[in-house]
Structure 1
Amino acid sequence: MKSIDLLMHEHRLIERGLAVLGNVAERLHRNEPVPTEKVTALLDFFRVFADQCHHCKEEGLLFPELEARNIPREGGPIGVMLSEHDKGRQLQRSMRELASRLDHPDSRAQFIAAAQQFLTLLREHIWKEDNVLFRMAAQVLTDGEDQLLVQRFQQHETEQVGASVHERYEHLIHDLEADLLKGAAQAAPAPGTGCCPHCGA
């Protein structure tokens, strides 16, 4: 499994989390109750899995390798990705600050707005990486360099977020889908059934 394939598999789980967030925003817009603990758990998924696990591997490991091979940061795709990561973190902070006050109309409206911005940002961001930057990476990394990068990805997970991070958050998203997306859980693979290379493939 190549490094880019691993990152793209992570994108698929992040997209499932985004679908849950979209459902939460729709429910809040209709003034339907959403359990605070489920919102908090979903935001924890974005903070730990999407940011600390996924984005930090890109920023600390993949992007420097690409820069060393003349894919530019300033005025290039890497700079755009980094800027979008920062914007996503700002929106996450806003949502976390508002999550405990969703029973207040103003806070609810601000949360919905931040969630919608976050959804648009990450969906477009993932498309750019999958279809532009990762294709560039595949062209410049040798097989040996790529396998070393895979090993460094695994080391990052073990040291920074825990070796079981994929399994833990795959279970969480599956449970949130079952609770919040009517019928969506049936379409998603159950944890440990080959959903991705980390979760029992």
Structure 2
Amino acid sequence: MGGIPVEERKHALKEILRQLHEGVSPEEVKEKFRQIIEDVGPEEIARIEQEIINEGVSREEIQKLCEVHLAVFREQLQRQKVEAKPENPVNILLEEHNALQQRLEKLATLTEKIKQADDPEAVKEEIFQLKSLAAELLDAEKHYLREENVLFPALEKHGITEPPAIMWMEHDKLRESKKLLKNLLENHDKMDFQAFKNKLTEVANAIRNSLSSHLFKENNILFPTALRVVTEQEWAEIRREFDEIGYCSFTPEKAIKETAAVLEKIEAKKASVPIEGT
């Protein structure tokens, strides 16, 4: 890692955390953050964050640092693409992220239509569609479980422990928000329509903002790190364990079939290795 020494980077990042804790916005500190990590890749950033947490900084504070990271690099990272071979299991997660992003866009459209209505009868169809959409968002549970129980432990074996822990913490918050949306829609007819619209807008915006940010972090920080540190043999085992947990209703079948190739390659390699004594 060239440029600024690690200890100096950590001290500077802690100073940014102190400013964020005091109420300074991510926009105000993003230029300083950019200078600190301009020549550092996602894996190195993850390791620095790990060391800062080991020194007593909470995961909640590190999550604030993630938001600054996004403010600095969102435009740059959006021009890049996660480089993964077609058979890599990360592609399943990426395709599911694409599907979830599409559903967030639909959530915004339906919520806006309901918000503009004066009569609940005029948006019965939109409310019905939102109920279906809420169920699909909740169906992301197997996606979370595959990350939490398979991908995250694989990263932890390579010393990447805190970024997965932060992502898991965000999963739990998203679970609660999505349950809140489902319950709100199930009980909308028991509420004053204006109160329902206000609450729906609040909950839908919270889900859209937090889930979009979460997907971006995983796509541009967590997954590239995994692609660098996880071995081919480990990816084959990850793929097997993905199958055991299962997939979501919106998981593209094409991605599942393509990633089966990683298992075939490993099995072919095993078959080509001579057995001792033969």
Common fold by TM > 0.5: yes
- Given candidates 106, 109, 120, the residue that maps to 1:23 is 109
Q: Secondary structure at the match of 2:159?
A: coil
Equivalent AA in structure 2 for residue 33 of structure 1: V
How big is each residue's C-alpha offset from its partner over 1:163-193, in whole Å with a ceiling of 9 and x where there is no partner?
xx44xx36xxxxxxxxxxxxxxxxxxxx87x
Residue 88 of structure 2 corresponds to residue 2 of structure 1: yes
Higher relative contact order (CA 8 A, sep 6+): 1
Equivalent AA in structure 2 for residue 66 of structure 1: L
Q: Which residue of 1 aligns with 2:130?
A: 39
How big is each residue's C-alpha offset from its partner over 1:55-74, in whole Å with a ceiling of 9 and x where there is no partner?
1110111111111210023x
Q: Distance in 2 between matches of 1:71 and 1:200?
A: 27
Residue 206 of structure 2 corresponds to residue 121 of structure 1: no
How big is each residue's C-alpha offset from its partner over 1:17-38, in whole Å with a ceiling of 9 and x where there is no partner?
1111111111122126142332
Q: Distance in 2 between matches of 1:100 and 1:151?
A: 37
Change (3 A) 1:65 1:87: same
CA positional deviation for 1:198: 3.8
- RMSD of aligned alpha carbons: 2.2
Q: Distance in 1 between matches of 2:209 and 2:218?
A: 14
Q: Distance in 2 between matches of 1:197 and 1:139?
A: 21
Residue 166 of structure 2 corresponds to residue 80 of structure 1: yes
Is 1:29–1:112's contact at 8 Å kept on the other side of the alignment?
yes
Q: Which residue of 2 aligns with 1:149?
A: 238
Q: Distance in 2 between matches of 1:200 and 1:37?
A: 34
Change (3 A) 1:199 1:126: same
Query: Where do 5+ consecutive residues of structure 1 fail to align?
Result: 171-190
- Given candidates 201, 205, 212, the residue that maps to 1:112 is 201
TM-score by length of 1: 0.75
Q: Distance in 1 between matches of 2:182 and 2:155?
A: 33
Aligned length, in residue pairs:
165
Equivalent AA in structure 2 for residue 3 of structure 1: P
Equivalent AA in structure 1 for residue 101 of structure 2: E
**Based on CA coordinates, which of the two structures has the bigger radius of gyration?**
2
Q: Distance in 2 between matches of 1:150 and 1:2?
A: 8
Equivalent AA in structure 2 for residue 106 of structure 1: A
**Percent identity for Structure 1 against Structure 2:** 24
Moved over 3 A (4+): 198-201
Q: Which residue of 2 aligns with 1:100?
A: 186
Is 2:152–2:164's contact at 8 Å kept on the other side of the alignment?
yes
Query: Where do 5+ consecutive residues of structure 2 fail to align?
Result: 1-86, 260-278
Equivalent AA in structure 1 for residue 107 of structure 2: L
